[in-house]
Amino acid sequence: MIYVLGSLNMDLVAVCPYMPKEGETMNADKYYTNPGGKGANQAAAIAKLGGKVKMIGKVGSDGYGDEMIRNLASYGVDVTKVKREKGNSGVAVILVCGGDNRIILDHGANYVWTSGDVDEGLEGAGSGDILIMQLEVPMETVVYAAERAKEKGMTVILNPAPAARLPDALLSSIDMITPNETETKFITGVSPDSEVELALAVKKFYSYGIKNVIMTMGSRGSLVTYGGNIELIAAQKVKAVDTTGAGDTYVGAVACLLEEGQDVVSACRFASYASALTVTREGAAQSIPTRAEVEAFMQERKNV
């Protein structure tokens, strides 16, 4: 079983001809809402790609909360550990332009946690299970959950987004970290712009006690470390429409295949195809492909 502890946000999306300048008002080309949040997106990705996943999270007492729960359940995510709190749900205001995006978050219910919430969410988890977390919930919640998961013998995967300083108590409980380039620079102090700097960043992660690193680098592909080895995996070239959810699809795809017993390199290759398909579609969870779609895409690329 894969457990995802993290955020659920309602995305309020405006598609713009260009990013507005300071003080500028513009007309959007399109506006829509859809359920998102890094935690919910990763849970949705796992379910859509064929994995068994349980979401541990918080929503508010507003209508957005009910909609987000229904949305996750529709993909096959176990939502029995998603709790409702008084007040508003998390909201993400997203500007999309030319396949790029800018995001502003209001945490809402995502920041209302107790240790008891974590204990309840992880009830029944044990050795062989996977816990995935991000950083859109309080850091103390992430640290506590990681420690509890390690006590249970679980594998802990951290997607360190948005970028933040990681306390030693968290670093010592992580089995795998999945940063992008910006997050890598923030955490290690090394900008991974060249092969030499990539190696230095990996060495820095090793010094923190994290031996399994998956660094996503957009069009440059991804870097994977395993057993002391480093491998670069090429990105799939596609025409990007909306990059929202691409990183979450990648993380979910990796966890899904690891839970099935596949090796990390195979999991990352699969994830590169899954995330490439995601950016060709608008939205967050609804843009994530199914397992059948990814496998068909992989076969199509092999036949070209």
How confident is the model over 162-194, as pLDDT tens digits?
999 999 999 999 999 999 999 999 999 999 998
Which amino acid, one-letter code, is at 100? Answer: D
β-strand partners of 131: 3, 156
Coil, helix or strand at residue 247: helix
Is 242 tagged catalytic?
A: no
- 104 occurs within a structural domain: no
Predicted pLDDT of residue 271: 96
Identify the weakest region by mean pLDDT among 75-89, 194-208, 236-250. 236-250
Is the backbone peptide bond immediately before 167 cis, with ω within 30 degrees of 0? no
CATH at residue 120: 3.40.1190.20
- 166 occurs within a structural domain: yes
How confident is the model over 227-266, as pLDDT tens digits?
888 999 998 989 888 777 889 999 999 999 999 999 999 9
- 124 occurs within a structural domain: yes
- Alpha-helical regions (H) of 152-235: 168-171, 181-188, 195-207
- 25 occurs within a structural domain: no
Is the backbone peptide bond immediately before 20 cis, with ω within 30 degrees of 0? no
Catalytic site residue from 129, 168, 248, 263: 248
- For the full predicted model, state whether its pTM sits above 0.75: yes
Predicted pLDDT of residue 240: 83
Number of domain units in the chain: 1
Domain that holds residue 119: 2-7+37-90+110-303
With tokens 């076969």, the residue in question is 299
> What does the mean pLDDT of the chain come to?
93
